[in-house]
Structure 1
Amino acid sequence: MKKLSIIKTITLLFVLVLIFYGCFGGYWFSSEQDQQATQNQIEPELNISKSDSKHQLSDISHNAPLQAALPVQKDADTTNKGKMDYDSDWCIAAKDLNQQDIDYYHRELEDWNLSSGRISPPLLDGYGADRSQYLVPYMASTYDALWQQIENDNEYAMIAAFGRYDFDIESQRKIAQRLVVKGHTGTALSHLVQIELNNAEMIYKKTGQMNADIEEHIYKALAYTAFGIKRFDLDAAFTYIIMVSSADFPPELKPLYSLGKDNKINNYINELEELIDKARTIGNVIIAPPDEGPKAAKHDFETSLAYLSRAYGYELQALKGVLPDTTGAMLEASECVQKQMEFFGDLERGRSRAK
């Protein structure tokens, strides 16, 4: 436990940083020393206790990742003899590429998935996607041992904390923000979206009406979602859509009705990006621009967008309706996305006939 004078100094510094950096706070600048200093000093948002956090995290941890819903395209379509080169403008791996290039595509995609943190903690029954194996040792660690790994910037340990009930929501928020600074998009952004929407819902259930705090949480959720979309990652968008389209989510909180398209979302997105860029500069973290990502990432984005367009078309259009035009344009169904949608339809009809 820190001495009282140190606590007061840290608390004062935190308040000043919060005022200076605006709505998203100063968690983005977490070095190992920063984490140790603030770990027990910042009051959790809405005074969420550990018992309350456990209830929320139970709901959060059972949201399946987007990739788990996508059809697997591992084998080449041998009936299609006209194959394309990997570096050409192909669309559907299983139809357009030979088996060697399909294997390369999956290796490249797997490397990108790991580097962008698209790893989900195993569920309570032990089930998880293949990449959850990287988190298994950390899920079994003691609380103190896991915190030590997190303070050493172990990214797998950080992600594992999202599936642990002994990590309160505020700690998880700071960990997720640190991961985003390090270049993660998938699980980290999804978790931040979940936290913001859960907070908005909790406040609404207490007050029964919209207020500035609720709007701020919704804007933050949209900013995190937009940040992922602009980096060819739809995991946060999938999480957002799943949560706001659920039957128990108050319709009054859906941005299509409560916020509409205005300049505030632009301000939140710009502030978020400025904070992340500044934190990366301070921490000497170098991240390649989104348009320099691997070809597999962009094709996976198209595949994910095709799935969302088929399964959640209305909700996707509602999300597009409140995002800035440049970000919303990335959710337009290109010619390739339309081909992917037709391909998914053919797969579904084939499975139905096989039953």
Structure 2
Amino acid sequence: MKGKVAVLISLITTIGLVYWFILQPPEALSGTSKEPYKQQRDKTNDEVKDIRKLALNQNEREPQAVFNSEDEIGEEWCKVERNFSPQQRKNSQNEASEWDVQRGNILIPDYHSAFESHNAGLIAPYVDIEPDKLLLSAKSDDKFALITLLQRDDAAKEKKDWAAYRLMLLGNTSLALGHLVMKEVSLAKHKFAEGSIVTKEIENHMLNSLAYVSYGIARMDASALRAYVIATNPKHLSHNFSPDEALDKIDSAAINARKNDLVEFINSERAQLHLNPISDIKIPEIARKEFDISIAILYASFGSQIAESKNLMKISEHDLSRKSDCVSEFLSRLTQSS
């Protein structure tokens, strides 16, 4: 049996592939048979269940770090946690769990990580209720209903898109942004397949996807980044479509400007809902470690792809060409355990 860290790599990668096959909008499948996608989705779901059983046999999760708001720890979390007591480790797990809830990182039972099972109970009441009742709860801005709607197989594409946008407005950055990134990249690929040339519409879709990635990183959540990496993986590209070539004339300033437009839109919509600006939602210190772990896992699984992505290197919110000490340390543990 591989170590806990190796299980974590496989788990995150597999869940990412699940998203690829589940969240493809119908437009991306036009003119092609959906059966291969269904077969792959079913196969991947079985793999997730097997990995989950394996993970449940582990006695404890890879320790999380916990920070006090007055501490200026930043990127040094890996050094601080080395001397943690058992109680501190337990407290940090609770901090990480609360952060998952705050950012909307809760997967329905068929797809959730064993490490998130304690949060799955929050959406359990919505998983099997009738679609009309679920939608009614979602329309009242019940975040757990919206998160469930976004993942239900029987939910219409339009309803899922709406749920993702609504969750984003309410402050979620995990499943919501991941869905929106997948949507934009899928639409870009579909449009390119129609004419094999990069149009302004295709460029706009890809720029939108990077704006979501940049915004997610700014909120210390790598979910949108993970979705982009998976969606643009060479295995999922066809018709000679190159995301980098599609945005060859777009620079970092343009991506940042589109991200700022997104933030302005979010705040404008939040104002109409009588909600404070998104920047007023505090990002807990535990987010730094959770973010760094996600980055390390992405490097371990897609290191070459990330390094060669011109688009990702244009994102100014985070320098993906540089690894912090803690990311490097965790990445070393991942590779040694694989």
Q: Same fold (TM over 0.5)?
A: yes
- 1:173 maps onto 2:161 in alignment: yes
Q: Residues 324 and 166 (structure 1 numbering): CA distance in 2 closer, same or farther, change over 3 Å?
A: same
Q: Give distance in 1, aligned partners of 2:61 and 2:323.
A: 24
Contact 2:66/2:92, CA 8 A, preserved across alignment: no
Q: What pairs up with 1:197-212 in 2 under 5 angstroms? A: 197-212=185-200
Partner in structure 2 of residue 119 of structure 1: 106
- 1:196 maps onto 2:184 in alignment: yes
Partner in structure 1 of residue 336 of structure 2: 346
Q: Give distance in 1, aligned partners of 2:331 and 2:144.
A: 34
Aligned partner of 1:231 among 219, 224, 240: 219
Highest RCO, 1 vs 2 (Cα 8 Å, sep ≥ 6): 2
The farther-off stretch of 137-146 and 203-212 is 203-212
Percent identical among aligned pairs is: 23
Q: Residues 293 and 331 (structure 1 numbering): CA distance in 2 closer, same or farther, change over 3 Å?
A: farther
Q: Give distance in 2, aligned partners of 1:209 and 1:139.
A: 42
Q: Give distance in 1, aligned partners of 2:85 and 2:113.
A: 32
Q: Give distance in 1, aligned partners of 2:213 and 2:319.
A: 14
Q: What pairs up with 1:1-355 in 2 under 5 angstroms? A: 74=61, 87=71, 89-91=76-78, 95-123=82-110, 129-130=116-117, 131-250=119-238, 252-260=240-248, 261-262=250-251, 263-286=253-276, 289=279, 292-319=282-309, 321-322=311-312, 324=314, 326-329=316-319, 332-348=322-338
Residue 91 of structure 1: SS of its match in structure 2?
Answer: helix
Contact 1:121/1:160, CA 8 A, preserved across alignment: yes
Q: Give distance in 2, aligned partners of 1:225 and 1:85.
A: 25
- In structure 2, what residue type is equivalent to 1:165? D
Q: Residues 215 and 162 (structure 1 numbering): CA distance in 2 closer, same or farther, change over 3 Å?
A: same
| Unmatched segments (≥5 aa) in structure 1 | 1-43, 77-82, 349-355
Q: Residues 241 and 167 (structure 1 numbering): CA distance in 2 closer, same or farther, change over 3 Å?
A: same
Q: CA deviation at 1:121?
A: 2.7
- In structure 2, what residue type is equivalent to 1:346? Q
Contact 1:265/1:323, CA 8 A, preserved across alignment: no
Residue 236 of structure 2: SS of its match in structure 1?
Answer: coil
- In structure 2, what residue type is equivalent to 1:175? A
Q: Residues 231 and 207 (structure 1 numbering): CA distance in 2 closer, same or farther, change over 3 Å?
A: same
Residue 114 of structure 1: SS of its match in structure 2?
Answer: helix
Q: Residues 318 and 179 (structure 1 numbering): CA distance in 2 closer, same or farther, change over 3 Å?
A: farther
Q: Give distance in 2, aligned partners of 1:297 and 1:270.
A: 22
Contact 1:280/1:286, CA 8 A, preserved across alignment: yes
Q: Residues 294 and 127 (structure 1 numbering): CA distance in 2 closer, same or farther, change over 3 Å?
A: closer
Q: Residues 94 and 253 (structure 1 numbering): CA distance in 2 closer, same or farther, change over 3 Å?
A: farther
Question: TM-score of the superposition, structure 1-length normalised?
Answer: 0.69
Q: CA deviation at 1:313?
A: 1.3
Q: CA deviation at 1:192?
A: 0.7
- In structure 1, what residue type is equivalent to 2:98? D
- In structure 1, what residue type is equivalent to 2:330? Q
The farther-off stretch of 327-336 and 292-301 is 327-336
Q: Give distance in 2, aligned partners of 1:322 and 1:84.
A: 29
Partner in structure 2 of residue 24 of structure 1: none
The farther-off stretch of 131-140 and 95-104 is 131-140
CA RMSD between the two structures: 3.8
Q: Residues 54 and 268 (structure 1 numbering): CA distance in 2 closer, same or farther, change over 3 Å?
A: farther
Please list the CA deviations of residues 142-170 of structure 1 after superposition, one character each: whole Å capped at 9, or x if unmatched: 12111110111111111111222332222
Count the aligned residue pairs: 292
